[in-house]
A and B are shown apart, each in its own frame.
Chain A
Amino acid sequence: MDPKQNVLREITRRHFFADCRMGLGSVALASLLGKDALSAATITHLDNPLAPRQGHFAARAKRVIFLFMAGGPSQLELFDYKPKLQELNGQVIPPSYVKNKRFAFIKQDAKLLGTNRKFQQHGQCGAELSALLPHLATAVDDVAIIRSMKTDVFNHGPAKLFTNTGSPRFGRPSMGAWVTYGIGSESSSLPGFVVLQSGPRGPRGGTPLWGSGFLPTTYQGVPFLNGVDPILNLSTPKGFTSQTQGDFVSAVKDLNSLRYAQVNDPEISTRISAYEMAYRMQSSAPELMDLGSETKETLDMYGVDPAKPSFARNCLLARRLVEKGVRFVQLYHTDWDHHGNPGTHLGEPLDDRCREVDQPSVALIKDLKRLGMLDDTLVIWGGEFGRTPQGEPRDTLGRDHHIEAYAMWLAGGGVKGGQTIGKTDELGYYSVEDPIHVHDLQATVLHLLGLDHLKLTYRFQSRDYRLTDVAGNVVNKLIA
């Protein structure tokens, strides 16, 4: 065998299993072949667009876990108790509230609907929560509840796009894509932006919700599936063993290296790194999904049945992902769209949704705290909009989509816990104190990550686009 081949082979071997995050393999290869035309810095940059980097200023949060409650949870059953609404239950809403307003389903003359849920104050901060969230009640002093969220659009698809991309139209990058574009990821063996799904179906809107828009696809969210392969095409194909897969990757690498030596195109070294990362993912992703190393205590805390896909399991996976350095994890949990049809009303279906998410999302906070990670992990809980103070006349109790006021909560990652921000009017219709628009929330999330939402831009069609479009103010009250 050609001696040069031997050396090359040795080198590729040595670096194959090493941590090649910074394109070390390619740099070594370049110098081996006597090609020093490309500076190491150039290669590093070209090699790994997901390399971790500094933001605009010191970050409070290093990573984000966004628990997305798809469908629009009812703030009036969970977070925002309104005595006046109880009092006026069954009466037509005063026309002054709904003049020139449009709704997805209900009409101008819809009747107000009080809640049949019980509310109580909790924690030292005295946050008021409904009995549907007993676990959250034990963690309110670590959580900032927002009761005055506002958004712009009232259909699910556009509203989900808006919350994720800052625009109700297609084509913009999602928050996770902006974040990994801005500060990269600290994981060399897993994608920087991971999406997990639970509930009866996928979220309305599909892939654009975690898409990269006009940013390079490197930054798009990678959905992890519940099946054998958490990532599409992760398993070595039938008939190929891990050994033959190793042979394969090594042969591809050697031949690509030879081509690189000939034509000098840095894209080839990027591709070599991509294959290395892919190969690492083949073992790291299944390891991640294997909950065998978790104690029974932990599993119980989250309420996980390791054999069953669930939101609880995804919360635990989210913790495992951020432990491995993944920058942005988004969990979708569907079926919060409680209009009042059988199966989608404010009775048992709402009980079920809350039961599914309350314990695990709070377990996630407590688990992160236990691991000392809550301080720099931002946890966000909320959906694309809230629900109307008016009831919706369907089979049973339900509410329509509402964009003027709804609730979310945040914890960790530099957020000042133990507070409830914002107030709505006496009917819970409008945010009247500290209104926080979706763009404000986005600006704040970026801020906590050390990014200035005005400076995190990408030039497309000759315009510098931002996550926050042309709006957004950092909400200082949220920050510790």
Chain B
Amino acid sequence: MMKSRPHMTSVTLSVVCGIATALFVAAVFVRADEKPKDDKPALVDYATQIKPIFAEHCHDCHSASEHKSGFRLDTAALALRGGDRGADIVPGKSDQSLLYQAITGAGDVAAMPADSPRLSTEQIALIKRWIDEGAKTPKDEVAESAHIKSDHWAFQSIKHSAPPDVADKSWVRNPIDAFVLARLEAEGLKPSPPADRATLIRRLSLDLCGITPTPAEVDHFLHDQQPAAYERLVDRMLASPHYGELWGRHWLDVARYADSNGFTIDSARSIWKYRDWVIDAYNRDLPFDQFTIEQLAGDLLPDATTEQLIATGFHRNTLVNEEGGTDKEQFRIESIHDRVNTTGAAYLGLSVGCAQCHAHKYDPISQREYYEFFALFNNCDEPNFQVPTSQQAQHRERLTGELAAVQKQLEQRDADYLKGLPAWEAELAKQSGGTWTNLDPQTITTRVGSVLSKLGDQSLAVDFSIPANDTFTLVSDVPLETITAVRLEALTHASLPMMGPGRAANGNFVLSEFELEVQPLDASGNPTGTPQRAPLDRAIADHSQVGYPAAAAIDGNQKTGWSIDVDKGSLNIDREATFLISGGIHNPHGSRLTVHLHQNHSEAGYLLGRFRLSASSATPASLEVPASVRRILAIAADKRSDDHRRQLEAIFKESDPVRQPISERLGALKNQLDQLDREIPTTLIMHERTEPRETHIHIRGDFLRHGARVTGSVPAVLPPLPADVKNPTRLDLARWLVDPVNPLTARVTVNRVWQPIFGVGLVQTENDFGTQGSPPSHPELLDWLAGEYMRLGWSTKSLLRLIVTSATYQQSSELREELHARDPANRLLARQSRIRLEAETIRDVCLSASGLLTPQVGGPSVYPPQPEGIYVLTQQKKAWPEEQGPARYRRGMYTYFWRSSPYPFLPTFDAPDANTTCTRRVRSNTPLQALSLANDHSFVEIARGLAGRIVRQGPAADAERLRFAFRLCLAREPHDNERDRLMQFLSTERQRFAVNEAEARPVAPLDADEGLSLAEGAAWTAVARVLMNLDEFITRE
């Protein structure tokens, strides 16, 4: 399919060498023969008059070998095509041609030729004439192919080398060892002896599953004398569902997976279904080529399955900037750059991002090629996708059917009833409305901590940092003798999302309950007696969302409430609700009113944003029609807006007694549907647009400066797309990435698989296989592995099996002295490396050693305990409903990841920030890590769990118990000096705790046997804490 390739960036040029040259000569001949018949000067001849000028003055920078600004002048057709900034020559219009502007030094382009003398006046005049005459060009001029040749190793096809011969054949277990040993023998080095079995089983377990082996598993392996015991262990581990978690997590680094949108607002997002898909893909060993195709272009596959759509979440892990005043297009484009860069780093091992602003300085990628690659990603929409269970899907279908029927019924009824509107209006016009007195609360308290500030107009605005739910309590003294109603106005404001009036993302809110308490004031204005609850008769709103009537705010049910979303028009306008007090309040000196505004909607953030309270003494009848409606009625009928008309109709329809039951039924159905929709998980996916977007080169990377228009393609230095692909899509790109002819994807991928197992890749610069990257330590091995990976059908499990069954892998990691001098970074692999575990794995080994681990695979993210004070430094507080059940002990990878304020343990141990792709984690070693493991209360809690396990499951004698504890944590037996040191520590702690039960209580395990004293339990927690803080515990030996 992909063999020799034509030059891809100049597709407009069809090049057929021999014949074309002949034709060209003929053409010149004909032209020369056609002498002008009149006195007009002859047309400028490109071949003889213009091309020589270009050749002498321009070709150094603008021809096949070098094409600055993407512009070539070695053929007229290329000259006309133009460079990165678009057309350089406008035939017939020299003054509009960039080329002419450049050689004359006019316009806003750099004067050309750069750094050398200007063209002569005659030459400039000639070029001007040529352009103005229409820039006539020979049709058959031949371009020197700009096929980009590179002799850089990574751009050459993968070579299959036979494993080399080695002297010590007995050491070789599979071809990997032959490659490694040949190099060692050449260097005069010997490999290290194999690690002992306890080390091996812990190593394997940490490398393949990321948890500690149980003492029983260790025993079984230590005593398995059958041949191939090790291989069977490997197979068992690869079959564990925990394998998919660990290796899925590695991939999620590349995918920059997180549970929030990033930047400053950093709202929550739901994309954990994608994480589940990744885990599952590893567990079922989905071949890596298919894994790639589904993630990059699952939506474009014929009859794409739900799973394949979920897989496209890979490139939906980009950030979304929700900050006010941002340009949506700017950040959409930012996310495409991120997709291009991520794809480049993850598959091609190339830092293509450099070419965003200019041609890549080191690798053969032009700016035009970058935007051709970019174009492939520029055609998608980014929808949210529901992933219901089959039961949920059926339920939803039934509900929507019923809903449609009731909706229709209601519309018919409304159409009939609205005929009475004019008469109603006329009747209303005769009455006058009651007046209102604004309340100016003297005390304002909030249950959870919203901060309310008074604006000048007695309205109150809710401060920025807001909790999920809250209750506002406002106390106001009102001088009115009689109070018949209290009104709540929900008011819009520029500081609110979409102008408000609520704080939800769309400006909505839900008032769950409105409560009123009254105390009479005495003659001097002091309250008397205790506050009495005032019974409320009715609630009348100028608008209510279907399913959220104002009456729901006085029904005593916190689960229902008043809300204001609309079917048509904008919800972001002022609204009001009037609450009529049964019988009214009558106090001669006025009253103290205490209003409780409960906002406890099941979705977070549905709070009022700005509001005002007022009271009235008017008769209930005069308050029936909200003041806002009266204001509309005051406007002449033909001056009313659509919103006005809708509001009037809405309030009139409320008075229809027939309507109410239908409307309630509709509301109930909508509530059910809302409820169901909240339960159905959603995930973010890609969806290709039918109308593709135009892509232009962005001059200097500025998305507002459009250069030449480009269409999708791949860099010319790599094999071309198949010839039959005319309008390439993401699907073609994905297939091209995993085409066996592509020299990079397999190499880059096996290198990344190698990396966590040996601590460093065969190519150390795992994300740069370009000319500036480091060359492979074992080039033949890299190619052999890449070839083998494809031969194994891109099976990652088979590749891993191959690697971990090698003798190279099974070596001891002890640092021999001669190696420290010769090969401190262990690039030659004369030993294994000691590798500190990754952040999530550290949590996982703590949990698995202690036996607390909840082994559930997949599902939504969870909230393990975290230290206090995390959100002091974020713009908005984040929800962190600390888990109380088994979810408290899930693996680290399921911890909810807020990009602006990650769970602190994770970044402390170098987990990536998920803002950009991460193809390799750094491993630091810091005091903050020490503080975290030693003092974080959630680790102390796990240590207590470990102590519980030790005393519950371990033998009774101290020394034996210690041995058991050691094996739980490190798989191996303690050495004598280690055991002695711990025995000494145990007895010290035991004595300390024995005399201080108060100290022992918060330390002792919760679930220890009844016979165990607090001091004994606490002493074992102290021991467990030491073990969990050992370097060896958080290290893969």
Contact = CB atoms under 8 A, between A and B. Distances in A.
B985 A461 contact: no
Contacts of B931: 231-234, 278, 281-282
Interface stretch (A138-146, A260-268, A419-427): A260-268
A44 interface: no
B172 interface: no
B1032 interface: yes
Nearest to B338: A169
A426 B915 CA distance: 41
B901 A264 contact: no
Nearest to A206: B900
A2 interface: yes
Contacts of A171: 915-916
Interface stretch (A22-30, A222-230, A439-447): A222-230
A38 B820 contact: yes
Given A200-B463, A243-B992, A233 B935 contact: yes
B306 interface: no
A394 interface: yes
Contacts of A225: 869, 872
A457 interface: no
B977 A156 contact: no
A94 interface: no
Interface string A434-452: 0000000000000000000
Nearest to B1032: A259
Interface residues of B, number: 104
B1026 A239 contact: no
Interface string A185-204: 00000010001010011111
A395 B494 contact: yes
Contact of A256 (B456, B900, B934, B1030): B1030
Nearest to B1019: A244
Interface residues of A, number: 94
Contacts of B932: 232-233
Nearest to A261: B977
A236 B935 contact: yes
A89 interface: no
- Secondary structure of the B contact surface, majority rule: loop
Report which residue of B266, B929, B940, B1032 has the largest number of chain A beta carbons within 10 angstroms of its beta carbon: B1032
Interface stretch (B289-297, B597-605, B851-859, B903-911): B903-911
B330 to A, nearest CB: 9
A201 B876 contact: yes
Interface stretch (A124-132, A340-348, A365-373): A340-348
Interface stretch (B374-382, B508-516, B919-927): B919-927
A267 B495 contact: no
A356 interface: no
A432 interface: no
A343 B925 CA distance: 44
B926 A217 contact: yes
B867 A233 contact: yes
A239 B934 contact: no
Contact of B934 (A103, A248, A259, A401): A248
A254 B1030 CA distance: 10
Nearest to A226: B872
Contact of A237 (B873, B929, B937, B982): B937
Given A240-B1003, A251-B1026, A263 B494 contact: no
A307 interface: no
B768 A461 contact: yes
Interface stretch (B54-62, B320-328, B550-558): B320-328
Contacts of A234: 931, 935
B934 A156 contact: no
B140 to A, nearest CB: 43
B416 interface: no
Contacts of B899: 206
B217 interface: no
A191 to B, nearest CB: 8
A344 B463 CA distance: 11
Given A37-B820, A256-B1030, A206 B874 contact: yes
A227 to B, nearest CB: 5
A232 B904 CA distance: 8
B873 A5 contact: no
Contact of B927 (A158, A254, A281): A281
A30 to B, nearest CB: 12
Contacts of B813: 263, 265
Nearest to A238: B1002
A313 B893 CA distance: 38
A236 to B, nearest CB: 6
B264 A462 contact: no
B815 A263 contact: yes
B196 interface: no
Contact of A102 (B327, B834, B975, B989): B327
Interface string A328-360: 000010000000011110000000000000000
Interface string B990-1030: 00100000011111000000000000001000100110011
B977 A2 contact: yes
Contacts of B461: 342-343
B929 A238 contact: no
B875 interface: yes
Contacts of A248: 934, 1022, 1025-1026, 1029
Contacts of B773: 462
Nearest to B944: A239
A191 B930 CA distance: 13
B883 to A, nearest CB: 19
A4 interface: yes
A218 interface: yes
A229 B264 contact: no
A92 interface: no
B323 A204 contact: yes
B836 interface: yes
Contacts of B870: 232
A306 interface: no
A275 interface: yes
A283 interface: no
B505 interface: no
B409 interface: no
A116 interface: no
B868 A227 contact: yes
Contact of A263 (B262, B834, B981): B834
A208 B981 contact: no
Contacts of A211: 913
A1 B455 contact: no
Contacts of B266: 206
Contacts of A222: 928
Contacts of A239: 999-1003, 1018
A123 interface: no
B834 A267 contact: yes
B975 to A, nearest CB: 7
A342 B455 contact: yes
Report which residue of B264, B465, B901 has the largest number of chain A beta carbons within 10 angstroms of its beta carbon: B264
Nearest to A47: B925
A259 B1030 contact: yes
B324 A207 contact: no
Contacts of B940: 237-238
Given A208-B913, A252-B1029, A343-B461, A229 B820 contact: no
B351 interface: yes
Contacts of B934: 233, 248-249, 252, 275, 278
Interface in A435-480: 461-463
A251 B982 contact: yes
7 contacts: A200-B465, A207-B913, A241-B992, A263-B1037, A267-B836, A462-B351, A462-B770
A-B pairs, top 9 by smallest CB distance, nearest first, are A104-B325, A204-B264, A462-B772, A170-B915, A206-B900, A278-B930, A239-B1003, A202-B873, A239-B1002
Given A225-B869, A240-B999, A252-B1030, 12 more contacts: A2-B976, A37-B820, A202-B873, A206-B874, A207-B907, A237-B937, A248-B934, A256-B1030, A263-B814, A341-B493, A341-B494, A461-B768
